[in-house]
A and B are shown apart, each in its own frame.
Chain A
Amino acid sequence: MGKTSKDKRDIYYRLAKEEGWRARSAFKLLQIDEKFHILKDVTRAVDLCAAPGSWTQVLSKRLYENRTDNEEVKIIAVDLQAMAPLPGVTQIQGDITKLSTAQAIIDHFGGESQKAQLVICDGAPDVTGLHDIDEYIQSQLLLAALSITTHVLMTGGNFVAKIFRGKDTNLLYSQLRIFFEKVSIAKPASSRNSSIEAFVVCQNYRCPDGYIPQMINPMVDNVQVIVDETNSNVNHKLIPFVVCGDMRGFDSDMSYSLNLEENSEYTYKEVVQKPISPAYKEILEKLKNCSIKHSAITVKHEDGEK
């Protein structure tokens, strides 16, 4: 397949490169904002699992737009990986499950009275191909994000995160409903129809009475043995399904001709930021000079080498 093939099949991949976004997912946040106005009047925002940084980019662009008091705006991007710097964004290289990370965020914003107005998380695990595991790990990530959010988000703030819809999503919805007044599911036009991905938009954070935010994950430390339930239908938690606005009229499932308007010229653009160190990078390097179709490469490690 040619170099431009992906440009034809994926309009958002191409637009992201042409408009300078680090990933096509930038459009998902923009489209969620079109519908829910979650970026309106926000000056303090946190992007969890930020790398490669396309959502942070959206924050950095939108939060500083039409403002004179730029000092007011504070954006924090948290990730285990380092990512290329972005203007007006403070990066914290840390683990979102750690209390220290939460404290660092609060400190940066200026203490307990100045907590974040918005927390977003577009993080996803490396999918294995087994849907049950992938869904489970994504739900763990979401709960970890929720856990830190309960620390850093001010009352009335909003939270947006990615979910994989599957057979256990009802549980997640109800968990989120404990902390937020309104929980909606959004499927932006730029998220593929065929993908199991969707987004939860949680509005108006209200910590339940008497709840003291803790860095605990409900799944981890409260393990109880419950006798297997009957085969009864799980109560469906009804969540208003809201589809995001059709901001551009582009459909991520559609394939597009390379010239969107007549007479306009198409030029191929390299991606803004290539993926950072994928797991198979090392083997790809090795396979440049040899093939392992019938053999293998053995790498000896010196004693004590990690």
Chain B
Amino acid sequence: METELTITDSIAIKILQGGAILSGVGNELHLHLPNTSKGRVLAQKLRAKVHGIADVLLKNAPSNEGRIIVHGEKECMLMQYVYDEYEYTFRQLSHFRLTDWISYAHFLQNPNEFVLLTAHSVVLRFLYEENTQQKNSCKVTAKSSSNEKSTLYCSHIRGRTNEDLIIFGGNAFGELLIWKPFIADTISRKIDCIEIQVELKHRQPAHNGVIFSIDFDDKSNLLTTTSDDRSIRFWKLERTSNDSWDELKINAIASGYGHVARVFQGKIIHFDRKPMAVTVGEDSHFCIWNSKAELLFKQRIQFGAVIWNFEYDKYTHTLYTVGSTGNLLAYNVEDVLRMKSKIFSTTIIVTDLEPNEYVAKAKFLKSNMLVGITNRNRLMYALLQYNKVNYIHECGPWHIIDMHKKYKCTVFEVQDNYIAICGYKRLTLIKYCQKNEFDILFDADILDGVIRSFHFLNNNSFLISDESGKCLLLEGENIAIRIAVPLPYCKEPWTTTALRVKIKQLKDYLLVSNRMGNTILFKIDYGSAKGTCVDTIRHLHGSLGATMFYLKEVQKDYIFIQSAGHDGSLRMLSIRIESDTIVSHQRTFIPVAWVEKLAVIENNEFLLGFNDNHFVIWAHDYDISVQIPCGGGHRSWHYDITSEDSRKFLQLLFIKNKVLRLHKHKLCNILSKSIKMLRNQWHTRACNILNIIEPHHIEVPFSIVVSAGDDNMVKISKLMSGGRLEQCAELHSHISNVRALKILQIQQDAVLIFTGGGRAQLCIALLELKDFRVHELTSYTLNKNEQSEDEKTQTYRPDPETRIMSCDVVKVNTNNSGNKVEYFVFLCCSDGYLRKLHVSESFKVISEIAFYCGCCLLQVRTFANSYILVAGTNGKICIFNLSLVELPFELPHHASGVNALDIYYEPNTYMLHILTGGDDQSVSYTSLEIQNENTFEIKKKFCIENAHSAQVTAVQLTFDNEGLCAYTSGLDQVVNKIHLRIPATELVCCTPISDIKGLRIDNFKRCFIYGCGIQIFKLK
């Protein structure tokens, strides 16, 4: 089997001699050379998942050489490698299996010697011997067994010689177990293999739950444990002398609770000779702690995936994390460890203030110039100077900018060289000229009430609105042109953001969002100086107004705009130029609760906003890269991007407790902090279903994979050459996990994607294959119609909360000419109903009918455009016609649930082939002939019992040289080929993908097997 791609759990990671990083991904070993940012998969593999790697330098070797032990489950492989800066060459020395799980591997001083610790506290000492005549061998030279036999969840070995070795183990009861396998006087070297039993030295109740990791630092006698109970605990070991472990005292120092889920790994690192600890866990975060368990830093890094393990490179101060999506992600923590970030924060002292006067609003006018307005309505400015030696900002004296009249300021906005101040009826527009001079361009009453908003649009145009909803589009420095924009009347009618898009001599659009959350599109008519409302989207970002409109792309027929608000999501909007209409295409969830701005820095789009009381910067490729505690989003704040010595900095200005603060952050750090490694963007939870759109069209020359999973996402990825899956689009329309997926090609370059899942939700989206734009067409909740009727009559109807388990779609032409297309969507649901939705051409659900089948339904397929085949947890297959009338035909296929189903229909011979995989470990096949309307005759039927040694969850029919055949897989992680004629099973391969949910075979004979991850391999 030739593997093209493996994405699955990565549990083991090691930084090798010479700086390369070796990580285990499933049963494979992936090597990354940091200098070249290249990665490759080693030819040497385990059969089991790689759980641990140990490394040692070969000091006496003629070239740079090292040795590693790679282990997983009961399997162990010893390898040797030669390295230089750009190349590593590996060869296998020995590969063997134990009869028990290997918990830890550890080299001794002599690199030909190593020890393995099993999960039941047996230490085996091995000697590797090279033998030219015979095979190289690993020989057990000693075996020591502890009297404590509880299963170890984690362990750690300290020491490099027999007598030094100390074993630390952690079990499910939260106990820390310490023992010494080889005591000097019990070791006799004369015998081939010595066997000894030893007593446990120390049993320490440590946690309220499983211990997942242990680390011990000899220098500081510090020990850390991490656990199921979400904590890291620091312990101090007291020994009478360094060599003596006889009288051991273990004192708990402190516990740190910084993770919100299980803490899977904790290690002690040294920085500036101080011991610290790093932890990672299920919550996708890493935490850095000092030895008193005080949190120094916390950061989400693996984009929501579970982090299983990490390594810290002490030379580059980089953390390398690995997790459930197999990604190796790097983060530079040098600044954090040096506590540099604190130095960047400065309090700005404002001089010449009157008693009780403070700056109420402040902005950057330039990178080195601040303007502010005080609670006494005085406008002031000051110059900033950056002191490079002390890393601090020095703020010069504040000067008053003279305004004709002081009035209470409600709006204070700054852009380029303009300052806009608004209050009751009045607008003051000031321009900054050179040499610290300010010109007042405009200062007069302009509206009728208290002005609530002022937006800078492009090319000297501005939008202003007041509390009564009066709104003007202004143009020119002296506000010569005033165009009335009729905002709809409501409680809070003023605008929250606005965007003007002019298309040369064709259209002039103004898009605004009001406080009530509605997005309104206006067409501006210059001649009559009037704006006309042409379209509205209600509650685009919930019941609060949008905060940002960003022009993405102007095409011939469409204008694409990205919007954001206070609901933690982005929306893609499009204005159709021909019809002057605006629609929301797609919603994307992001981990920023309040988005305020979008900034483009070095061609990367960064979103600036707030999460609780923190200011954050987020980008799709970098996740959250800056977090500054500022007190929250309800405050006057501003930012500025500045360059110094060709490095980019972010300056954040905000007011907290009436004090003006400035925070400076190195931005090049954002870009390089997470060293760019090719990251897959696969599902962070199990993938439940997958489908392939084959390359069929000159404009779409690659296979497209559509997948959906327990992370509530539908992903669309391109399969690139070299087996790389590149994500092209993501659908966030599901509120629960997604299990059902059907793709329907409607044009050469467009497909419909039907998805169903938990919370009775069905979504339909249109995907354009040329540019991967997604249009979310419908999100429908089953029984919705009935519910809404009930709401009217105020009766309570206990409604089943159902899951859609599988779906299929039939396209129907409802008139004779065939140009009106509608859809029948068949859904099988966990409440035992088979449902049929009639979906109109415009993707509205016209009707929903249901048929009760009596058990949880698992599979549905349509065939011959006339029949529906259904299977459920009772193991039987039933057939319905398109009107949901059950036909008198029942096919028992399994003793229990039908977990997997595939059918193949031959229209010429009217033959239907059905292949199923069951919970009863068997694979069943039936071929039927459709005789005449609604009668079927069984032509062939067989069941291969125990085709797998666990549930069969994946089946697919395909063709080989002999005709129709099939591939199956299940929770036993074995892929079998089923010969349908004989019938017989043939083992194809084993896969590291656990909890397999299905498999697909494409036209290139590639097998896509998915579940906890995905593997793509070529079939013979």
Contact = CB atoms under 8 A, between A and B. Distances in A.
A82 B694 CA distance: 59
Interface stretch (B371-379, B454-462, B800-808, B999-1007): B800-808
A227 B798 contact: no
A165 to B, nearest CB: 4
Interface string B592-616: 0000000000000000000111100
A296 B949 contact: no
A62 interface: no
Contact of B831 (A136, A140, A223, A257): A257
Interface in A208-234: 217, 219-229, 231, 233-234
A70 interface: no
A177 interface: no
A130 B945 contact: no
Contact of B149 (A129, A217, A291, A293): A217
B250 to A, nearest CB: 9
B95 interface: yes
Contact of B96 (A221, A227, A281): A227
Contacts of A9: 801, 803, 830
Nearest to B289: A296
A125 B152 CA distance: 12
A8 B801 contact: yes
B972 A169 contact: yes
A251 B919 contact: no
A136 B856 contact: no
Contact of A136 (B11, B73, B874): B73
Contacts of A170: 949
Contacts of B140: 225
Contacts, number: 253
Greatest chain A CB density within 10 A among B11, B292, B612, B920 is at B920
Given A131-B994, A283-B230, A293-B612, A243 B856 contact: no
Nearest to B799: A257
Interface string A150-193: 00000000000000011101100000000000000101010001
Contacts of B627: 294
Contacts of A305: 251-252
B99 A126 contact: no
B151 A140 contact: yes
Nearest to B896: A243
A288 interface: no
A286 B895 CA distance: 48
B922 A241 contact: yes
B990 interface: yes
A279 B100 contact: no
Interface in B238-265: 249, 251-258, 260
Contacts of B253: 300-301
Nearest to A163: B950
A272 interface: no
B801 A255 contact: yes
A251 to B, nearest CB: 5
A281 B230 CA distance: 10
Interface in A90-118: 97
B535 interface: no
B897 A253 contact: yes
Contacts of A169: 949-950, 972
Interface string B117-133: 01110101000000000
Contacts of A224: 98-99
Interface string B68-112: 000011010000000000000000000111111100000000000
B93 to A, nearest CB: 13
A289 interface: no
Nearest to A281: B208
B293 A298 contact: yes
Greatest chain B CB density within 10 A among A228, A286, A296 is at A296
Given A131-B994, A255-B801, A280-B229, A167 B855 contact: no
B971 A254 contact: no
Nearest to A169: B949
B931 interface: no
Nearest to B986: A233
A279 B257 contact: no
Nearest to A8: B801
Interface in A246-303: 251, 253-259, 266, 277-283, 286, 291-301, 303
A233 B985 CA distance: 11
A280 B897 contact: no
B699 to A, nearest CB: 39
B950 A294 contact: no
A5 interface: yes
Given A5-B801, A296-B295, A301-B255, A226 B97 contact: yes
Interface string B952-975: 000000000000000000011110
B209 A280 contact: yes
Interface string B308-329: 1000000000000000100000
A304 B895 CA distance: 58
Contacts of B949: 165, 167, 169-170, 234, 236-237
Greatest chain A CB density within 10 A among B153, B207, B798, B801 is at B801
Contacts of A282: 208, 229, 231
B851 to A, nearest CB: 15
B832 A279 contact: no
B172 A298 contact: no
A80 interface: yes
B861 to A, nearest CB: 19
A306 interface: yes
Interface in B41-59: 47-49
B210 interface: yes
A286 B873 contact: no
B410 interface: no
A286 B260 CA distance: 11
Nearest to A303: B251
B877 interface: no
A76 to B, nearest CB: 22
B525 interface: no
A201 to B, nearest CB: 15
B227 interface: yes
Nearest to A130: B9
Contacts of B800: 8, 255-257
Contacts of B199: none
B951 A165 contact: yes
A239 interface: yes
B919 A187 contact: yes
Interface of A: 5, 8-9, 80, 97, 125-126, 128-132, 136-137, 140, 165-167, 169-170, 185, 187, 189, 193, 196, 217, 219-229, 231, 233-234, 236-239, 241-243, 251, 253-259, 266, 277-283, 286, 291-301, 303-306
- Give 9 closest A-B pairs by Cβ, nearest first: A279-B209, A296-B258, A296-B295, A165-B950, A131-B994, A253-B856, A301-B252, A279-B228, A254-B856
27 contacts: A97-B150, A126-B228, A129-B324, A131-B1012, A132-B73, A165-B972, A166-B973, A166-B994, A196-B995, A217-B120, A219-B120, A220-B122, A221-B122, A224-B99, A225-B98, A231-B47, A241-B945, A251-B856, A251-B873, A257-B799, A266-B798, A279-B207, A279-B227, A292-B257, A295-B298, A296-B287, A299-B256
Given A97-B150, A193-B856, A297-B258, 20 more contacts: A9-B803, A136-B73, A140-B119, A165-B950, A167-B949, A189-B873, A193-B896, A196-B951, A225-B96, A255-B803, A255-B830, A279-B229, A279-B230, A281-B208, A283-B230, A293-B611, A294-B298, A295-B258, A299-B256, A301-B254
